[in-house]
Amino acid sequence: MDAESGSSVNISFDFTGKSVVITGAARGIGRAMVQQFVAAGASVVAADRDRDGLEGTRESVAAPITLVVADITLAEDADRIVQTAVDHFGSIDFCVNNAAVAPHAALLEERAEVWDQVFAVNCRGTFLMTQAAARAMIAAGKGGRIVNFSSGVSTKGSAGAAAYAASRAATEAFSRVAAIELAPHNILVNTISPGLIDTQPKPLPPVMAAALEKRIPGLPLARPGEPEEVGAIALFLCSEGASYVSGAVWSVDGGAGLGGRFTGPIIDDDPRYDWVTGRGQ
Catalytic residues: 164
Distances (CA, A) of 60 to 33, 39, 53, 56, 57: 12, 11, 11, 6, 5
Residue 118 binds to ligand NAD (criterion: CB under 6 A): no
Residue of the chain from 71, 115, 140, 169 that contacts ligand NAD (CB under 6 A): 71
Minimal distance in Å, beta carbon 181 to ligand NAD?
22
Residue 46 binds to ligand NAD (criterion: CB under 6 A): no
Minimal distance in Å, beta carbon 276 to ligand NAD?
42
Residue 196 binds to ligand NAD (criterion: CB under 6 A): yes
Residue 211 binds to ligand NAD (criterion: CB under 6 A): no
Please, which residue, 120 or 183, has the CB nearer to ligand NAD? 120
Residue 29 binds to ligand NAD (criterion: CB under 6 A): yes
Cα–Cα distance measured from residue 182 to residue 144, given in angstroms and rounded to the nearest whole number: 10
Residue 246 binds to ligand NAD (criterion: CB under 6 A): no
Residue of the chain from 99, 134, 146, 188 that contacts ligand NAD (CB under 6 A): 99
Partners of residue 193 on adjacent β-strands: 251
Residue 79 binds to ligand NAD (criterion: CB under 6 A): no
Q: Give residues in contact with ligand NAD (CB under 6 A).
A: 23-24, 26-30, 48-50, 53, 71-73, 98-102, 121, 125, 149, 151, 194, 196-197, 199
